[in-house]
Structure 1
Amino acid sequence: MEDATRRLADGRRDARFEELLGETERWLEAAERIGSAGRPHVLAALAAREEARTSEAETRAAEGWARAEAELEGAGRRLEREDLEDATARGDRATLLYRRATRSARRDQFLGAAIQARAAAMNAGASELAPSAFAAGEAQLASGEADIADNAATDGPARAGEAALAAFSRAHHIAALFDSVRRREVSVERLIDEHEADLARLAEAADVEALHSNPGETTARIAGEISRLRADNERLGIELAGERARASEFDTRVATLEARLSEFERRFTGARDELLAVREREARLREVQGLFTPAEGEVLLSGDRLVLRLFGLTFEPSRAEIDEALYPLLTKVQRVITTFPGATLRIEGHTDSQGGTRGNQSLSQRRAIAVREHLLARVPIPSSRVEATGLGEERPIASNETEDGRARNRRIEIVLTLPGS
C-alpha cells in the first residue's frame, strides 16, 4: 500500500501500480480470512483481557497481566499459522490468567485502602478497644473479598471496601481517643465539648436551629433537612435524565446519517492510516525499549499509556536530591519524551514498606517532584502537561519481605499518555 501510494503521488499510475493494489487486496483478504476463522478461538480471552484492562490490571497486577499478554500473543502466533487447536489452548490459559489479574487488581483497587486501615487499627489495639467497629470492618472486608471472588459487579466490592475503610478508621480513632484519655492528654469533658461544637457547625450548614440542651433533636432536624435536599436532588436527576435521553436520541440519528455518508471513504483511508500509524508507533516503541538496560528499568505499553518503570533512578535514604551520576539515565528519559511529542506525563514516586506510611508518601512525593523539575528544566514541554505524585508504598510490584523486592518497589515510574490514540 505504501509503495502504491508513493507511485500515485509521483504520477506513476502504471501496471506496477495496479499490481501493488492487487497484492494489497490479496494480503488483506488473507488477514480477514485468518481473523474470521481464528477469532472464535480467542474470543473469551479477548473479553477477559478487556475486563482486566478496565480493572487497571496492567498497573495494579502487572506481573499477572504480563503473563496473560504473553499467552495471548502466543495464541495469535498460532492463529497466523492456522494452528487452531494450540491457539485455543493458549487462549484458554490467557483467559484464566487475565481473570486472576482482574481479581488481584480489583482487590487492590477496592479493598487496598481498607486492608491498610485494618493493619493500622490492629497496631493501635482497636480489636480490643473498639471491638464492634473493628468487627464491622472485618465483616465488610470479608464481603468485599467474596464479591471479588464471585466476580460481582463493581459497586458491590466498592461499597464493601468503603464501608470497611470507614469502620477500621473509626475503630482506629476510638482506640486513639481511648489511649489519649488513658494518658490524660485529653479529658472526656473536652471530647463532649468538641462533639457539641461539631454538631452546632452541622446545624448551621443545614440552616437549622441547634438545641444545645437536646443533641438528639438537633440531629433529627439536620437529618430532616438532608432528606429534603435529597428528594429535590432525585427529582432534578429524573428531569435531567429525560433531557439527556432526548438529546441522545437526536445525536444518534445525526450520527447514523453521518456514518452512512462517509462509510466508503472511511473504510479506505482508515485502513491505510491505521496501518501507517501502527508501523510508526511500533518503530518508536522498539527504539524506546532498546534505550534501557534491565538494571535501569523497563518499558511497558498498555493502550495509550507508555510506562517507564525506572529501577535505576535511585536516591539516598530519606533524600530526594538527584545525584549527577543519574543524569545519563535521565537523558534517556528525555529522549523518550521527545520521541512522543504531545504526550502528557505523570511522574510517580514509589517506596518500599520500610518506615511509616505517611513518611513514605511524603518522601515519594518529593522525589517525584525532583524528577519533574529536572525534566522541565531540560525538555521543552509545558509544565501543565507534567504531573508529579507520590504513591508511597501503596503499589508494590514485588515482595517487601526481601531486599531485592524492596529495591524493585523503590522506583520512579513515568507514565506517558500518548496523543492521538
Structure 2
Amino acid sequence: MKRLISVLALIALALGLSACATRTYVDDKVAVVNQRVDEVDSNAKQGIRRLDAQVGLMDATLKAHEEMIAAAQKTAQEALDRAIAAGKLSEGKMLYEVVLSDDHFKFGIDDDKLSKETKAALDSFAGQIKAENKGAYIEIQGHTDSRGEASHNDKLGERRAMAVYQYLHTKAGLPLHRMNVISYGETRPLASNMTEDGRKQNRRVVLVVLK
C-alpha cells in the first residue's frame, strides 16, 4: 500500500512539473509574440510619422511654387496694365516673358554689369523679337534680394534693368520707344531670402513681351 502511494505521489509530482513547464513555455511564447506586436506597432507609427513629414514637405513645396507663379502673373499683369494705359499696345495682351536669373546670369555684388552669358541670352532674345514680334512692347523689370536697404535695392534693380535696356538698344538694335524699365527692388521675391539659393532666384531681370 505504501508503495502504491509513493508511486501515485511521483506521478502527481511529474504531472505538476509538466504543467509548470507547459505554462512557462506558453508564457515565453506569449511574451515573444507581444514583443513582436510591439515592434510592428512601433514601426508602423514611425512609418506614419515619416509619411506625415513627407506630405508636409510636399504641401510646403507646392505652396511655394503656387506663390512663385502668382507673383510672376501679378508682375506680368501690371506690366500689361501700364502698357495699355500708355497706349503702347495694338492688341493689349502678353505674349511671354523671359527671366534672366542670377542663378545662371551672374551679377556681381551690388553690380549692374552684364556677363557674357547674359549678353548672349539678350542677343538671342532680340533676334527672336526681330524675327517674330517686331511690333512688340517690352517691359524690363529689375528685381533684387533683400540684403541691404530697401531704397538701395530699388536703385540697384533699376540699374540692372537699365543695363539690359541699353544693351538691347545699342547692341541689339531694339527701338527705345518699344521698351520700358521698372524696378521692383526686393518687393517681389520668388523664393525665400533666408537661403543663398533663394537669394539667387530673387536677383533677376524679367523681360515681359507684350503686344
TM-score, normalised by the number of residues in structure 1: 0.28
| 4+ long deviations beyond 6 Å | none
Q: Deviations over 1:216-258 (max 9, x none)?
A: xxxxxxxxxxxxxxxxxxxxxxxxxxxxxxxxxxxxxxxxxxx
2:96 counterpart (306, 314, 336): 306
Task: Determine whether 1:329 maps to 2:121.
Answer: yes
Q: Deviations over 1:279-332 (max 9, x none)?
A: xxxxxxxxxxxxxxxxxxxxxxxx524111111233111111213343222222
Task: Confirm or deny: 8 A CA contact 2:141 2:184 kept in the other structure.
Answer: yes
- SS of the residue 1:331 aligns to: helix
Task: Confirm or deny: 8 A CA contact 2:99 2:205 kept in the other structure.
Answer: yes
Q: Please list, as runs of the form range in 1=range in 2, the aligned pairs for 1:82-161 lying within 5 A after superposition.
A: none
Q: Determine which structure has more spread, i.e. the larger CA radius of gyration.
A: 2
Q: Please list, as runs of the form range in 1=range in 2, the aligned pairs for 1:187-336 lying within 5 A after superposition.
A: 304-311=94-101, 312-336=104-128
How many residue pairs match? The answer is 128
Tell me: CA distance 1:316–1:346, structure 2 relative to 1, closer, same or farther (3 Å).
same
Higher relative contact order (CA 8 A, sep 6+): 2
Whole-Å Cα distance in 1 between the matches of residues 136 and 146 of structure 2?
31
Tell me: CA distance 1:313–1:388, structure 2 relative to 1, closer, same or farther (3 Å).
farther
Q: Deviations over 1:167-216 (max 9, x none)?
A: xxxxxxxxxxxxxxxxxxxxxxxxxxxxxxxxxxxxxxxxxxxxxxxxxx
Q: 1:341 maps to what in 2?
A: 134
Whole-Å Cα distance in 2 between the matches of residues 321 and 411 of structure 1?
13
TM-score, normalised by the number of residues in structure 2: 0.54
- SS of the residue 2:99 aligns to: strand
Root-mean-square deviation over aligned CA pairs: 2.8
Q: 2:199 maps to what in 1?
A: 406
- Please state which structure has a larger fraction of its residues in strand: 2
Whole-Å Cα distance in 2 between the matches of residues 408 and 336 of structure 1?
24
Measure how far apart 1:62 and its partner are. 9.2
Tell me: CA distance 1:402–1:372, structure 2 relative to 1, closer, same or farther (3 Å).
same
Q: 1:363 maps to what in 2?
A: 156
2:189 counterpart (390, 396, 410): 396
- Which segment is superposed worse, 408-417 or 316-325? 316-325
1:381 counterpart (142, 149, 174): 174
- Please state which structure has a larger fraction of its residues in helix: 1
Whole-Å Cα distance in 2 between the matches of residues 367 and 66 of structure 1?
21
Whole-Å Cα distance in 2 between the matches of residues 62 and 307 of structure 1?
20
| Residue ranges of structure 1 left out of the alignment (5+ in a row) | 1-60, 68-100, 110-302
Measure how far apart 1:336 and its partner are. 2.8
